[in-house]
Homo-oligomer: A and B are copies of this chain.
């Protein structure tokens, strides 16, 4: 297990290929645009050495019997899924925001573990041996692996091969004996700058004509041809400032646009290359654990809003009774997504390749809540926090230090606690609800509409209809002509 410092050192050793605001970032661990995010990911490495967290953050490798980061493990049973939910909740708790540079990669490798097994079974390829070799090696190196699914997508009505621009989805443009060459982009990739390697999976289910888009592989984040441009996020310029206007030092979420300019990927790092009929399985295999455990992440977000709201209310001198209902609602929201994630994780089934696949219906139900309840929790946090929390409606920290009027500002911000303390709490509420700390909960891992479509497909409506017919003793009618219920 690497130390946080070793992890950061490994990032410094990589080729600088990350940009923001038109500038190359020479050292991502030091630059204000990325260093908080790196600190957040470093916190994971540190937690492995902390007694209270190590059980959550580490596990035993099923490949080597060594202790490894849970983010590099195979998920092989309900217990692993419960730990997955707990881990995501913990990391949000400890960093105040998303550490997305690891969990997507983790889910991606587990999905492709199953998919490579299936492809090999059909085509006698060697993908599964490749991923096994790569994974064992990665566990030993204790590397950070980001996951990349989302393509630019161009016109949403059209498939990859129908687009005006054939690069709108990442694709194989050439193949050699030893490599495949890929071109395109993966966009909005959480925490990619914090990663050592990047695990690429198709972003959707494709058809035969899209075979060149059916590609999965893993590659060093700084490989030749890869360029990363960090996206903006709310109030990101405050990260360039000192002081508590960006209140959390050890956390920050960034998402990158990853450009693949004819990147060469060695064959032993390729896990799918043209087998289009497995793209649907890849997506569903990813969605299962991802949409389950994301409930823990969102609960971790809510935990902090509950803590921050309560501190703010106390700082304002408010009676705690006045906020109890709201805290109860927030708690309910937290436990709803956490709990449904647990349920999805537990109700799954073992894939022949050994990985555990959560219940997809439940996972997608959870996704819909994950895309809605956090908005409600944020609203409640703002309601409890009052006007200065709602939009961070306070002068800057610089103003508070102004020799002329600074003392008056501090005086007028004072309540049960000194003005500076209320200030920092209100900035945290802002950061969590409309500022730099908000993760992309709604669309990250797919849209709620997509989840609803899957729910609609996965629900066994004909079973419910049969139940009703039995109850009414009308089992023969009125649908038999459709041939749906020829036997029980």
Contact = CB atoms under 8 A, between A and B. Distances in A.
A95 B396 CA distance: 25
A227 B405 CA distance: 8
A483 interface: no
Contact of A472 (B20, B248, B379, B461): B248
Contacts of A378: 375
Nearest to A433: B434
Contacts of A95: 471
Nearest to A406: B22
Contacts of A3: none
Interface residues of A, number: 152
Given A167-B411, A461-B307, A229 B391 contact: no
B343 A447 contact: no
A156 B316 contact: yes
A383 B368 contact: no
B155 A442 contact: no
Contacts of A386: 443, 447
A317 B236 CA distance: 30
Contacts of A255: 391, 393
Total copies of this chain within the assembly? 4
Contact of A408 (B233, B259, B343): B259
Contacts of A401: 22
A249 interface: yes
A311 B421 CA distance: 43
Contacts of A177: none
Contacts of A150: 387
A68 interface: no
A10 interface: no
A126 B399 CA distance: 41
A469 B244 CA distance: 14
A386 B152 CA distance: 12
A136 interface: no
A315 interface: yes
Interface string A457-470: 00101011111111
Nearest to A453: B328
14 contacts: A165-B414, A167-B411, A167-B412, A308-B468, A310-B465, A327-B459, A331-B361, A335-B340, A335-B361, A335-B365, A340-B340, A390-B443, A424-B474, A425-B468
A212 interface: no
Interface stretch (A57-65, A106-114, A276-284, A318-326): A318-326
B325 A325 contact: yes
B303 A22 contact: no
A113 B364 CA distance: 38
Nearest to A227: B405
A402 B22 CA distance: 6
A395 B468 CA distance: 22
Contact of A248 (B311, B379, B447, B471): B471
Q: Which of A233, A251, A415 has the most CB of B within 10 A?
A: A415
B391 A22 contact: no
Contacts of A45: none
